A and B are shown apart, each in its own frame.
Chain A
Amino acid sequence: MAANNPAQLDPMKTLHEIEEKFEMFQILNEDGEIVNEQANPNLSDEELVELMSRMVYTRILDQRSISLNRQGRLGFYAPTAGQEASQLASQFALEKEDFILPGYRDVPQIVWHGLPLWQAFLFSRGHFMGNQIPEGVNVFPPQIIIGAQFIQAAGVALGMQKRGKKSIAISYTGDGGSSQGDFYEGINFAGAFRVPAVFIVQNNQFAISTPRELQTAAKTIAQKGIAAGIPSVLVDGMDPLAVYAATKDARERAIKGDGPSLIETVCYRYGPHTMAGDDPTRYRTSETDSEWEKKDPIVRFRKYLETKGIWNEEKEAEVIEKAKEEIKEAVKKADAAPKQKVTDLINIMYEENPYNLDEQLAYYTEKESK
C-alpha cells in the first residue's frame, strides 16, 4: 500500500491517462483498405457478400421508408442511413439465440434477426400486431423510452445466465441515451452480476439537435464502462469489419462467463431524427454532413469487396431489386392486416377483463360498428 501511495494527489493526470487509452479501433479505412490486418475478423467471401448485401438492402429500406412516410403510408419512422455498419455488422456477429433489445432506430437489426418486415411496417403505422414478436424470434419491440432497454438487457442476460444458456443479450442506444440513468444502471447491474450482455452506444453525434459535446464532459462514451468495471471499446462505427470484430470479441467474452462489455460505435445519421418534423439544417451544417458521407460504410465496404473481386455493380443491382420487391410485398402484407380496433386493445390489457373493461368492450363494440 505505502509503496504505491502517490506523493501528491493528481486526479487530473489519472483522468487524462484513462481518456488517452481510448483510441478509435478501425480495420477498414475510408478508402476500403485494411489498416489493421491483425484484427481482421477474416470473414469468408460468402459472409462478406452477405453483410454487404444486408447493408445495401437496408439503405434501400431506409429510402423507401422515408418515401412511404411522406406519402402517408408509414407512420413513425427514425431514419437509419449512415448507421448500417453499426447496426448490421454488430447484429451479424450474433447467433439466432442471442436476444436483441433495440431502441426505436434499431428496427433493421431486429428485422435481420427475424422480425418479418411487414410487422416492422405495422409498428411504424401504430398497430399492435407490429409488436407481436413471432415465437423463436429473439427480439423485444423497439423501446420508446430512451435507455430503458439497457437495464432490461441486464435482466435478460441474468436470466440466460441462470438458465445456463450459451447466448447473450445485446442492447442498443445512442449518444443521448448514454446520459440517462438507465444507461448507468444497466451497465452497472450487468457488471455487478457479471452477466452475458453487450451494450452498444451508437454515437451518431446528435440526440435530436443536441450535439455529442453537450451530452457529457467525458471525452468518449466508451470510457464510461470503466466506472462500471466492464471492458469497453471505442470503434469506428462506419467500419463494418471493426464493428463486427468488436461485437464478436465482446460476445465471446460474455459466453465464456467473463461478463458484459460496452462498445461505442462512432457514426452519423444522415437523415433527420425522425420523420415527424425534425429539420437537421437547424442544428448542423452541410459541411459536417459531407465530411461524414466521405466515411460512408457502404462506400468503403464496396471498394474493399470490389478489390477482392467478390462484388460488382451487377450484384449490387440485384440486391437493390430484391430489396425493392420484398419491401413492396411487405407493404402489401401490412396493408392486408385487419384494421386495429379499440376492442382489440381492450382485449390485450389483461389475461381476463375486469368489469370496467367488459362494460367498455360493449360500448366500443357499438361505437366501432357505426
Chain B
Amino acid sequence: MAQMTMIQAITDALRTELKNDENVLVFGEDVGVNGGVFRATEGLQKEFGEDRVFDTPLAESGIGGLAVGLSLQGFRPVPEIQFFGFVFEVMDSIAGQLARMRFRTGGAFNAPVTIRSPFGGGVHTPEMHADSLELLMTSTPGIKVVIPSTPYDAKGLLISAIRDNDPVIFLEHMKLYRSFRGEVPEEEYTIPLGKADVKREGKDLTIIAYGAMVHESLKAAEELEKEGHSVEVIDLRTVQPLDIETIIASVEKTNRAMVVQEAQKQAGIAANIVAEITERAILSLEAPVLRVTAPDTVFPFSQAETVWLPNSKDIVNTAKKVLTF
C-alpha cells in the first residue's frame, strides 16, 4: 500500500472522481496551473484539461454562486475556498442557497457540491486563515460537514463527499496536510459520511474529537494509559450529521465522556455533543461531560497560537477531572 500525506490523499481522491465522473468539476483560486496554494490540485489541470479543472477570478462569493449554477446544469462541482477564514465572503451561497436548494424546490433540484477548504491552527498563518468555523456550517441545516484526521480517511471521505447528492463542506486541517504519512490504498474506496471511527478502544473514558484534536487526544490517551486509565478515542470524521450511535454506545460502555475541539468554547460543536449525550444517556453517566476547547477569543495572532490551541496536556488535565469525579 502507498504511503501518502493527507494532501496527496486528497489529490488522489480528486483524481479518482475526475476520472470516474465527467460531471465532476474542480475550480477555485489558483487551483489550475499553480495546483492550489497547498498543491492539493497539483497536476490535475494538466491531466484533465482546463474544461474540468480551472482557475476562477478572485471572488469567494463568485465561486459559491458558480457552484450553485453549475449544479443546476447537472454538474458535480468541487470548488476550493482557498482558506476557510474567507468563508464569510461566500456565506450566502453556502447557507442561504446551497443548503436550501433541495428544501426550497421540494426536491426538484439538489446541489451535489463539495466545497473543500483548508483551516486549522498551528501553522502560523496571518489572520483570517486558520479559524475553526465549522460551527457556522453545522448550525446550517441542509449541509454536511466532514473533517478528516488521517490520509486514509481523507481519501475515502472525499470520494464519498463528491458522490453525495447534497452539499458537503470538506474541511482540511492545514497542520495535518504534511505532518505525517499514512497507508492509503491506490485503488478507490469510500468511507460513509456520518460514520465515526473509534481510533482507540478503552473502557474508562470516552474522548470525542475531530480533526487535529484526534491526534492530541490519542497522545493524551497514551499518557493516561501509563497511569492505568483505559481511554477510548472517537474520531467523528463527520461533524454534521453526528454518528450518535457510536457516541452513545461508547458512553454506555465507559460511563464517562469528554469532548475536545480546536474551536472556541462558544463555537459549540462540543456543546451539542454534550447535549446529545445528556439527553440520551444521562443514566449511564458517572461524571459530567466536560469540554476541552480554545478560549473564546478571535483566533489569535500567530505568535500566541501554540498556547491558545488545546493540547494533550489540557486534555489530560480535564480527563483526570472526569475520571476522578
Contacts and interface: CB of A to CB of B under 8 A. Distances in A.
B308 interface: yes
A210 B305 CA distance: 31
Contact of B128 (A127, A128, A145, A341): A145
Contacts of B124: 75-76, 126
Interface of B is mostly: loop
Given A127-B301, A145-B88, A209-B33, A364 B128 contact: no
A305 interface: no
A340 B301 contact: yes
A36 interface: no
B127 interface: yes
Given A145-B89, A208-B29, A357-B296, A181 B59 contact: yes
Given A208-B37, A209-B34, A214 B265 contact: no
A50 interface: no
Interface stretch (A87-95, A247-255, A342-350): A342-350
A276 B33 CA distance: 18
Contact of A349 (B55, B128, B296, B307): B296
A341 B58 contact: no
A342 B57 contact: no
Nearest to B38: A277
Contacts of A277: 37
Interface string A136-148: 0000000011100
A367 B33 CA distance: 45
Interface in A322-364: 339-342, 344-346, 349, 356-357, 360, 363-364
Contacts of B59: 179-181
B249 interface: no
Given A180-B59, A340-B303, A208 B34 contact: yes
A363 B310 CA distance: 12
A104 interface: yes
Nearest to A176: B58
Contacts of B125: 76, 276
Contacts of A128: 301
A135 to B, nearest CB: 21
A348 B295 CA distance: 13
B58 A104 contact: no
A342 B302 contact: no
A214 B57 contact: yes
Contacts of B275: none
Contacts of B62: 179, 181
Given A145-B88, A282-B34, A363-B295, A342 B304 contact: yes
Given A180-B89, A349-B298, A357-B295, A283 B57 contact: no
A76 to B, nearest CB: 4
A341 B302 CA distance: 11
A145 B86 contact: yes
A345 B300 contact: yes
Interface in B304-323: 304-305, 307-308, 314
Interface string B105-126: 0000000000000000000111
Contacts of A179: 57-59, 62
Interface string A178-193: 0111100000000000
B3 interface: no
A146 B303 CA distance: 23
A125 B55 contact: no
B266 interface: yes
Contacts of B300: 340, 342, 345
B297 A214 contact: no
B284 interface: no
Interface of A: 75-76, 104, 125-128, 130, 144-146, 176-177, 179-182, 207-210, 214-216, 276-278, 282-283, 339-342, 344-346, 349, 356-357, 360, 363-364, 367-368
